[in-house]
Structures are given as C-alpha cells and as structure tokens.
Structure 1
Amino acid sequence: MTTQVTDHRGGVWSIAVPIPDNPLGHTLVHLLETDRGPVLIDTGWDDPDSWDTLVAGVAACGFALTDIHGVLITHHHPDHHGLSAKVREASGAWIAMHAADTAVVRRTREAEPGRWLDYLIAKLTTAGAPDDHLAPLREARAKGSGRKLPGRRAALPDREIDPGELLDLPGRRVRAIWTPGHTPGHVCLHLEEDHPSGLPQGFGRLFSGDHLLPGITPHIGLYEDPDDDGGQATDPLGDYLDSLERIGRLAPAEVLPAHQHAFTDAEGRVRELIAHHEDRLAGLRALLREPRTPWQLAVAMEWNRPWEQIPYGSRNIAVSEAEAHLRRLVKQGYVEVVTGSDPVRYQAV
C-alpha cells in the first residue's frame, strides 16, 4: 500500500484516501494541527483499504489515530463522511457537520429501504423514465428487497457547524462558510491565517470540499425528504451559484479541495463554473423549445460520455441534475410545466 501524503506547510497536510471502483480515485482528507491535537477535515470512504490508508497517512503526518481531536465534515457524501464512525470509535474525536446534512444522514440511517424504492419509482415515473429502466426497481420492490443506501454506518455528528462560526480550534482561526448546492449542508472552511508561502494574492486557505474543484464541475441534484408531501420546491442550482459568488468574493490565496489538487485563483475558477452553468442553462432553454420530460432532457444533455455508456445508477443522478437545472429555469421564468402533462413535461416560455 502506497500512502500519498502532502505537506502543505503551516501544520496542514493532505492524505489521498482511495475511493474503491471510482474514477475520482481518491478523497483528499486534510489534517489540520491545532493546540489541542490534530483535526481531520473529512474522512474518506468506508472501506478496509481506505481505512488502512487513512491510518498510515495520519502516521506519516507524525500522529497516531488516537491523537485525532475532532473531525469536520464538509458534506455527508460517503467518500467524505464514510469513515467518521470508525475514526470516532478509535480516537474519541467529536464530529461536526452542518445541520442540513445531518438531517440527510439521519433520514438515510432510519429509512426503510422499501420506502426509498417507492419514492424513487414515483419520482422516475413522473420524470418520464422508460419501463425498461423502472422494471428492475419494481422487481426489487415486489420482492421486498431494497438497495442498502451508502453511508448507513457513518456517524451521526455530535456537533453542528453553524454558518459564519469561528470554530473551536485552539491556536487556529477557521471560519465555517455555508455553501449549499452540491448538498444542502455543504460547508467550506476558511483558514484565516497568512499563507505560509506568503502568496501575494488573496488571504488564507480554503478547504473547499466538493464545492470548488480545479477541473471538475460538482454534481448538483435534488435532496428531498420522501416523507415530505408538501413544502416549497428547492433550487439547489441557484443555491450553488450564490454560494460560488460568495467564495469568489472571499478570494482565498489557495484552495485545498477534496479531489484532484490544491490550486490558486479561486476567483478565476468561480467565474469558469458560473459561465459553464450559464451556458448549460442557455442550451437547455434551446432544447426545451419542444416539450420534454426530465428524462428526455437528461438524455439530450451533454455529459462526459454518451448516454448509452452511462451506467444504470448514474442515469438516476443525471436525471436529478436535469431536474435541478429545470428548477432554476422555472424560477427564472424561462420554462414552465406543460399543463396536464403526464409524465410531466417542460417547455421554454
């Protein structure tokens, strides 16, 4: 096992923790030294090799896992939060997360799998998914089986990360910035200290999780409670774009993301991502000159591979992303639901 550890100087390290069978390759778990002991930012996927890599990585930073004082979770996804329970069990560390993502973790842990299957079947049916896509889900439901949702073994946090909070990390100034979009409770963490390399542009370093990545556009989908029959429709893409603008104004000297590599010019990367989504929304308005279901829109959208090569489960994620873009267009007044359509269709105004 090769452990890839990077010393970012000033008591900041990153450990590349592998994600099994995933093209992303690994999650960059960051270790931040404090006067009370090291704190982890994210933990990695719940997998034996990932665990061994994390333990070896902490050792390479000069600490034992039992030294870990706390864990800050940028968001609830299993490649970030998966090993949190094992870290807490081994070290006694506290675990902190934004309340909106803690609610998702609680729903996942408590959910009866059949309830989620019912919800997914209903959502995909309304979105216009074809019978050959729905058939395996209906068969699983008829058998009384249900896919185990990832993250069931992840810990329920025992602390909340409040937006704008200066975190209780002795000897450090780390401020929480709520950046919803990729998940409802995603947070970035701003290390409000001069950069150890004295970079002239920007201030401090930003642990950006999945919010801001150097070469990847994060997935923006829907996170809704299957037991919530009413309530106002969310606008995760709008939330994400607003969050990006806040990070652009923050102008950190360096960004330490959870995937790929550290980078500078956060403002430039924010501009690229905003432009990407503006172009995509304009392209979807053109596609919606003729009425389409969310499924038909997802099939017509441009992805990193042809639709025929997108795996079964990833198609559900693609439809969720299409629906998030539709929500934005509806809110902007560019698109509306075709009255009486079943499955639901949308059309440009």
Structure 2
Amino acid sequence: MDGESMTQVTDHGGGVRSIRVPIPDNPLGYTLVYVLDTDRGPVLVDTGWDDPESWETLANGLAGCGTSASEIHGVVITHHHPDHHGLSGKVREASGAWVAMHEADASIVRRTRGTRPERWFTYMTDKLTAAGAPEEHVAPMRTAQPRNLPGLSPALPDREIVPGELLDLAGRRLRAIWTPGHTPGHVCLHLEEDHPAQLPGKGRLFSGDHLLPEITPHIGLYEDPDDATVMDPLGDYLASLERIGRLAPAEVLPAHQHAFTDAPSRVRELLTHHESRLTDLLSLLTTPLTPWQLAERMEWNRPWAQIPYGSRNIAVSEAEAHLRRLVKLGRAEAVTGSDPVTYVAA
C-alpha cells in the first residue's frame, strides 16, 4: 500500500474498512465509503461523488484494502445524494455488483433520471417565489441553461433495502433501519455482531448522514414536482433519531468526519439543538414572515449576506421544514390570505 492509500484507508477491525473519497469543492471534504468483507466478496456502503479524482481515490483505496472495483460483490446505499450514490454506476460497470437502496429514494432516482432539467428549474422558480424569494434571486433560474451536473443521471438500483430485514450478505448480519428525515428513504445499517474491540453496546451502526459526530445534517423539504403531499421531514428526522438512540450501538460509523461512540448522547444533543432552534424561530415569528424572511433572520454558520446563491436555496428549504414542524405542532400558523404566504406564532 503506498503512502497516499494509507492516509485514505482506515481499518475499523472485524472486516470493516473505510476509504476517504473526496467531494470536489465541498467543505465536507470527503465521504467515508465503507468496505465490508463478506463470504461472497467485498460490499460497499456508499460509493462517493462521481468525479475522476474521487474514482481514482476509491480505486486506490480498494487496492489498499487488498481488493479492486472489479471484485465488489454489492453496493448498499444509505441515501440517494450524489456524494453517496454518485459512483455506484461505475462500480457496477466494473464488477457487475448489485446496488441496493430504499424504495423511497429509489423512486427519487427514477424521477431524477426521467425529469428534464428545465422542469426542475420551473419547479424551483415556483417554489422560491411562493416562499417569498426576491425577484433578483429567482430571475437567474428563469434563464438557467441545463448543464451536465453530477447526479442528474444516477444509477438505477436493482435491489430494494427493506426496513427491519437483514440484507443478503453471506457471513454477515447487517440489518436495515429506516431513518427518514435527511431524505425520505435514508437508511442506517446495523451490523449485529460483537464489536471487535469489545466496546459495550449493540454492534456497530453505519449511520450515513443521519447521525454525524459534529455536524447537524441538512433537513429540508422533500422535493417532488409531481407530489403535493404535505410532508414533515423534521418530524420524520426527530422520530428517526430517537429510534437510533434507543438502539444504543457500541460505535457509529458515519459517512462524514469520523467514527464515534455514545450514540444516545449525540442523539440527545441533536434533539436539543432542534428544539432550541424551533423555540428561536417562534421568537422571530412574533410578526408574520415568509419562509425567505425567516431564513434571512435564522442563525447560520455565517451572515446571510455571505451565504452563496445555491446555499440560500438550501437554507430556505430548511426554514420551511422547521415551519412545517411548528405548524404541525400547533405552535405556528399560516396567515390567511397572505401572498406569498406568511407565518406567525400561534
């Protein structure tokens, strides 16, 4: 193994390794792709971003693990986002591996592949206008030219991950736990085996983006141009968090940052964070605000004026997810007749 491969690969013991696969131009830095040994060959948990450097890093990391992309038996995807699912197609081309995903996210993959980019721009323009975005923000989308962006044609999964069931992995016990919130079909994967270092707790958990040691994952609206169902992603996420807290795994193997222990403590921190955030938003909603106006006033990791264009769209989606939760709890309500719609504390 060369020096660079050594720095990208971590051996977690018990036939589990991780490879740090870079995400280009992203502050997260990398996705941790896990290599799980099975009796039928290595299985990957997530694959990383579809980019030449990322593919090269994954290939070098697999070589450092004593295998190669051509030997991969299967790919288990925690959720459909391109930093997790991006290289799945290339891995399958190289090896013939199966690719498994929860049906709710598989349907997003099918829709993404079948939706023309122009339809997405129209949809996002309408959504942002309804959220109260100013015309100078919306205008670029009206004339946007579709580009060949990663994630516009993700690989179609050929196996379904069924919540509560063991995956078909020879010699391993890996159980799927449905944890919607970050995406509607996000899954965590519970390795129901003794911890190799005998840490106290119940096995190990591949947590995807659901539970990260130092970051709060983005919780926004589930975007579907053809479905007007009013979902509650933040409510989904909080319920999913509590489910993982009760599981109490010995160790968490997340898709970003680093492995960690004491999942219940981290779950409590995140539950407290979101309750605090909801309380803060109520104090802002003493006067009626649109979702855009609320996002402008929320606390982010930098002042609103410094938040880039694309990140503002994500911020507004997160503001709307919190508003949905407050409305569902009866703590806020839409102002009748307002256009764009404003919300006020109930």
TM-score by length of 2: 0.97
Amino acid in the other structure paired with 2:296? V
Residue of structure 1 aligned with 2:130, choices 105, 126, 129: 126
**Post-superposition offset of 1:131:** 1.1
Cα distance in 2 for partners of 1:329, 1:340 equals 19
Cα distance in 2 for partners of 1:333, 1:20 equals 42
Q: Render the CA deviation track for 1:255-287: whole Å, top value 9, x for unaligned.
A: 000000000000000000000000000000110
Cα distance in 1 for partners of 2:143, 2:21 equals 36
2:116 is the alignment partner of 1:112? yes
- The DSSP-based 3-state class of the residue aligned with 1:316 is helix
Given that 1:113 and 1:148 are in contact with CA atoms closer than 8 Å, whether structure 2 keeps it comes out as no
Cα distance in 2 for partners of 1:203, 1:223 equals 31
TM-score by length of 1: 0.96
2:53 is the alignment partner of 1:67? no
2:38 is the alignment partner of 1:39? no
- The residue aligned with 1:2 is 4
- The DSSP-based 3-state class of the residue aligned with 1:106 is helix
Amino acid in the other structure paired with 1:102? A
2:226 is the alignment partner of 1:227? yes
Residue of structure 2 aligned with 1:239, choices 236, 239, 246: 236
Q: Render the CA deviation track for 1:296-326: whole Å, top value 9, x for unaligned.
A: 0000000111111111011000000000000
- The residue aligned with 2:207 is 208
- The residue aligned with 2:198 is 198
Cα distance in 2 for partners of 1:203, 1:67 equals 30
- The residue aligned with 1:169 is 169
Given that 1:108 and 1:149 are in contact with CA atoms closer than 8 Å, whether structure 2 keeps it comes out as no
Given that 1:85 and 1:153 are in contact with CA atoms closer than 8 Å, whether structure 2 keeps it comes out as no
Cα distance in 1 for partners of 2:161, 2:139 equals 41
Given that 2:112 and 2:153 are in contact with CA atoms closer than 8 Å, whether structure 1 keeps it comes out as no
- The DSSP-based 3-state class of the residue aligned with 1:168 is coil
Amino acid in the other structure paired with 2:222? Y
**Post-superposition offset of 1:148:** 4.7
2:48 is the alignment partner of 1:49? no
Cα distance in 2 for partners of 1:319, 1:151 equals 21
**Post-superposition offset of 1:89:** 0.1
- The DSSP-based 3-state class of the residue aligned with 2:207 is strand
Given that 1:174 and 1:190 are in contact with CA atoms closer than 8 Å, whether structure 2 keeps it comes out as yes
Amino acid in the other structure paired with 1:13? R
Identify which range, 250-259 or 151-160, moves more after superposition.
151-160
Given that 1:98 and 1:186 are in contact with CA atoms closer than 8 Å, whether structure 2 keeps it comes out as yes
Amino acid in the other structure paired with 2:203? G
Cα distance in 2 for partners of 1:251, 1:91 equals 35
Aligned residues: 342
2:280 is the alignment partner of 1:278? no
Cα distance in 1 for partners of 2:148, 2:288 equals 35
Given that 2:46 and 2:76 are in contact with CA atoms closer than 8 Å, whether structure 1 keeps it comes out as yes
- The DSSP-based 3-state class of the residue aligned with 2:90 is helix
- The DSSP-based 3-state class of the residue aligned with 2:324 is helix
- The DSSP-based 3-state class of the residue aligned with 1:160 is strand
- Cα distance change on mapping 1:113 and 1:153 into 2, 3 Å: closer
- The residue aligned with 2:188 is 188
Cα distance in 1 for partners of 2:275, 2:82 equals 29
- The DSSP-based 3-state class of the residue aligned with 1:325 is helix
Q: Render the CA deviation track for 1:135-185: whole Å, top value 9, x for unaligned.
A: 111232xxxx33555312321000000100111001000000000000000
- The residue aligned with 2:102 is 98
Cα distance in 1 for partners of 2:38, 2:114 equals 35
